[in-house]
Amino acid sequence: MRVSILITVLAVVISFAKAYDPSPLQDFCVAIDDPKNGVFVNGKFCKDPKQAKAEDFFYSGLNKAGNTNNDVKSNVTTVNVDKIPGLNTMGISLVRIDYAPYGQNPPHTHPRATEILVLLEGTLYVGFVSSNQDNNRLFAKVLQPGDVFVFPIGMIHFQVNIGKTPAVAFAGLSSQNAGVITIADTVFGSKPPINPEVLAMAFQLDVNVVKDLEAKFKN
């Protein structure tokens, strides 16, 4: 009996030992690049809290449209911990996305964040695809100004401007540095390139088509 109780107690102690605080234990941890007199937290050094100032929590410029003169006709302006040092340890960031008519934010994933998007202007077709475990189901909607859509963490998702006028959206992400993996760029533009025969089998394409795609995305 005593042995079983001891095992139970040890199990509880071990479980607590593996736990961690779900949120910061200080008001803020403003990121700095200079390690002198700093503490390394969440990938950044933190300055002395007494040296923090309002500018550490401020960014200006999201009122300006991004340049959509590119192959996908969209632009993502990211406001993460690199732009606002005070975001360090806060687990949140923001983006502005501009879309030219018929432009798109092509299929991509955020490995470290769920995304919640609100459309301000235009009309977007948006969606995400669930994992293999869920049979790769497509969840998609057409958004009008004021509509909100959520893209779960790690899911491949996209947005397409289906209107004849520019579109603008803002999105919040549950990470100070969410990361982004654009599917086409990653698969066909890796450095060095993936063996074309591997991708030809994976995508059921002629190997010459894969070589053309890798040539197009290598830059």
Give the C-alpha separation, 183 to 180, whole Å: 9
- Between 91 and 142, the more confident residue is 142
Asked if residue 15 has pLDDT above 50, the reply is no
> In terms of domains, do 86 and 185 share one?
no
Helices and strands per DSSP (H, E), number in the chain = 4, 13
Known binding-site positions: 105, 108, 110, 115, 157
> In terms of domains, do 120 and 62 share one?
yes
Give the range of the structural domain holding residue 193, as residue numbers without chain letter: 181-218
Kindly report the number of other CB atoms within 10 A of residue 118's CB atom: 14
In a domain, 18, yes or no: no
User: pLDDT digit string (tens) for 160-175?
Assistant: 999 999 999 999 999 9
Please choose, from the candidates 124, 165, 170, 158, the residue with its C-alpha nearest in 3D space to the C-alpha of residue 144.
Answer: 124
Mean pLDDT of 144-167: 97
In the chain, pLDDT over 70 holds for what percent of residues? 82
**Cα of 130 vs its chain's centroid, Å:** 16
- Between 74 and 111, the more confident residue is 74
pTM, entire model: 0.81
Mean pLDDT of the residues in the chain: 87
With cut-offs at 50, 70 and 90, classify the pLDDT of residue 135.
very high
User: pLDDT digit string (tens) for 37-87?
Assistant: 666 655 667 888 888 999 999 999 999 999 999 999 999 999 999 999 999
Q: In what order do the strands lie in the sheet with 115-121?
A: 74-79, 93-99, 167-173, 115-121, 148-151
> In terms of domains, do 86 and 192 share one?
no
In a domain, 163, yes or no: yes
Known binding-site positions for oxalate: 105, 110, 115
Known binding-site positions for Mn(2+): 108, 110, 115, 157
Please choose, from the candidates 148, 159, 180, the residue with its C-alpha nearest in 3D space to the C-alpha of residue 99.
Answer: 159
> In terms of domains, do 164 and 68 share one?
yes
8 Å CB contact between 138 and 193: no
**Overall domain count for the chain:** 2
> In terms of domains, do 211 and 155 share one?
no
User: pLDDT digit string (tens) for 172-215?
Assistant: 999 988 999 999 999 999 999 999 999 999 999 999 999 999 99
